[in-house]
Amino acid sequence: QVQLVESGGGLVQAGGPLRLSCAASGRAFSTYAWAWFRQTPGNGRELVARLGTGGFTYYADSVKGRFTISRDNAKKSVTLQMNSLKIEDTAIYYCARSTGYGSIWDTQMYDAWGQGTQVTVSS
């Protein structure tokens, strides 16, 4: 049973950076694609960034050029570097493991989730 633990969330001023990390337990970390989602009250989870096993990346239009997803297979960790943060980036951020099937935007395509970490961007 894989466990994902996020860290690095917090309060930051608009324009500032924040770095989220996701530590994974279990085997075969390198054979999976990994993603970061975010969720605001009353809304579903939105795919922010995804990193495939071959290095292919996806970013939501709202974060392109500001966020960078990366992975360290040796450490079994996934990182989301967030720069130039905006107030609208405020959300709970979740790390997720992809099954590799279906639409990358479909949350049911992901079979493991972290507990979430709050990111709050202030003016």
* Alpha carbons 119 and 37: distance in angstroms, whole number: 12
Band of residue 26 on the pLDDT scale cut at 50, 70, 90? confident
Put residue 12 in one of left, alpha, beta given phi > 0 → left and psi -120 to 50 → alpha: beta
User: If you average pLDDT over residues 16-35, what whole number do you get?
Assistant: 94
pLDDT surpasses 90 at 91: yes
- For residue 86, what is the enclosing H or E element? none
* C-alpha dist (Å) from residue 11 to 6, 15, 81, 91, 106: 15, 12, 15, 11, 29
* Alpha carbons 78 and 53: distance in angstroms, whole number: 12
Q: What is the pLDDT of residues 98-119, one digit of tens each?
A: 988 788 999 999 999 999 999 9
> Which letter, b or e, does each residue of 79-104 get, where b requires 16 or more Cβ atoms within 10 Å of its Cβ?
bbbbeebeeebbbbbbbbbbeeeeee
